[in-house]
Structure 1
Amino acid sequence: MAAVAGMTAPGGGEPVRVLIVDDDALVRAGLSMILGGVPDLRVVGEAADGGEVPAAVAAARPDVVLMDIRMPRLDGLAATEALRAQPHPPEVLVLTTFHADEQVLRALRAGAAGFLLKDTPPAEIVQAVRRVAAGEATLSPAVTRTLIAHVTGAVPGGPDPRRERALRLLAGLSEREREVAVALGQGRTNAEIATDLYMSVATVKAYVSRLLTRLDLNNRVQVALLVHDAGLV
């Protein structure tokens, strides 16, 4: 994260750099006003279409990208997939007007860290950006359960390659790793997992990092989806 002259977060840290991607100029302006007034966040650029994202990211070097899912030329899903495939990509927060949109689920599978409804209160938007920048989940337990409940299921009575793959991946985990994975699938926070499994929060964070490495996933939301695919929640 590059320092910005004259702008530091409270405590001397560098502000979180945010890129806003939305085809609606009014939405971009509103988000810029919300985030621009917070000392520890800084809007470093805007883009009006997914096709503009690579150049915008290269120029602005954001930590977090707020990505509209529906854009006329290149949509947010394709842009997220391309961005997350790059080395050391920024985190992506999907912006949408629908909280149970199949496209949102596809974006999460592609590596987005979570999603925000466009009518989310400003304070919650700010907190979501902070959590993503810190590597935390951006979905509340209730929202996580809503999302994973809408994942497309297998044909009744037929083979389920997604479930078989999930079970195979999870079978390689230790018992403790599996417990943490299931807790993530239930939408539990680090603090809740620590309490339930009698761990410190630091230990939970270490287990989450280990899970992401072992399962070759980008974030805890993808772990939650994998656990749901396996039928464990």
Structure 2
Amino acid sequence: MSTKREEALPLRYHFHDKPSDAAVAPLYTHFTSLRTSLVMKIIQPSLCPLPDPSNSKWREAYYNPLGLAHNEAWVYQMLAHRQGLSIPYFFGLFDIVTPSGEAAWALVLEFIPGPTVHDIVTFTSTADVHDFCSLGLDAVRDLALSGWTLRDIRCGNFILCGRPDSQTVVIIYLYATKHITTPPSPERLAMVDAMRFYYMFARCVGDKYPDIHDWAAKSLPRGVWDYDYDHGFSESEDDSPSR
């Protein structure tokens, strides 16, 4: 599928081909009681970070835009059983042309309403913050127990959504997610990813909710909140907004 520019509206473009029925049909999901909306996640090469030759490990740190688009689409396809639960519904990857004439790629996804971890610092209820953390840990663990590890755990990648009596945390960026075919132990992988999520979460909310570690010590497994409990955790997570 490709797009063409609309000359009268130079900042807009549309698909040459009609989207599939699935992409235009009314869709109702666990995340909202209303008909859902769709979003296009556009990966445009000119807007992606360039490799840094001064970094001796730039080959490992650099993600080719084509690879980014196709790897994330592949992850969504492989995790079809999680769509509508802990990840958005995915409607496909399409080749597009931007209004400037640049070739790019678009992932068409379900729009997920709700606050990210960054947004929860405006919450007035400490219980809401604790619920977000617990539900986020559940989402990360569920993926890890099935052999998938999140490589991009940051505040903007998790959204709390659903009705007050039926909330869940949805992971919205999967571009660097990896399938570990032979992990040492699914439980071990789940604990490491849960620890990474918790420390990202605590860094994000700690200034306004300084009791987060006291709550974690009382409510969460020690392997999640005690950094020294398991020396296998060594990655430093970036708590900046998602890409």
TM-score (norm 1): 0.28
More helix by share: 1
RCO (CA 8 Å, sep 6+): is it higher in 1 or 2? Answer: 2
